[in-house]
Amino acid sequence: MEAVTDYLTANPVVVTLLVLFIGLFLLYCVLKKFLKFTLVVIFVFLLIGGVYLFKDPGSAPDKIKNAAETIKAGGQQIAENFGNFWEDTKELAGKAKKVPGDINRMLDTAKDEVGK
């Protein structure tokens, strides 16, 4: 193990290439799964549209339009809720940053009171 660490410390270019390769590999894996997910979602939408068209060809455009509006409204609600979640998380993180200082002040105060 020491030989490996000695080699990597002596050759920083190798470390850089290794980190770059691992990063590209992870990015490839994530994008590959995202591409598969996107294809499945498109297939499901086309399948649902086909079912609407097959059941009642005359009113299919209205049903598809209604379904698209429903999905759009749901997406807007999800985006709104995520925005609220993000703001709440930032607010909570700001409060969490203050906690260690508050605890230290309380401990200092407690030490002073015990010392009296």
Instruction: Output the DSSP codes for 30-67.
Output: HHHHHHHHHHHHHHHHHHHHHHHHHH-TTTHHHHHHHH
pLDDT value at position 116? 65
Query: Is the Cβ–Cβ distance between 67 and 50 less than 8 Å?
Result: no
Q: Looking at 10-19, 31-40, 51-60, 72-81, which range is the least confident one?
A: 51-60
Taking the whole predicted model, whether its pTM rises above 0.75 is answered as no
Share of the chain above pLDDT 90, in %: 9
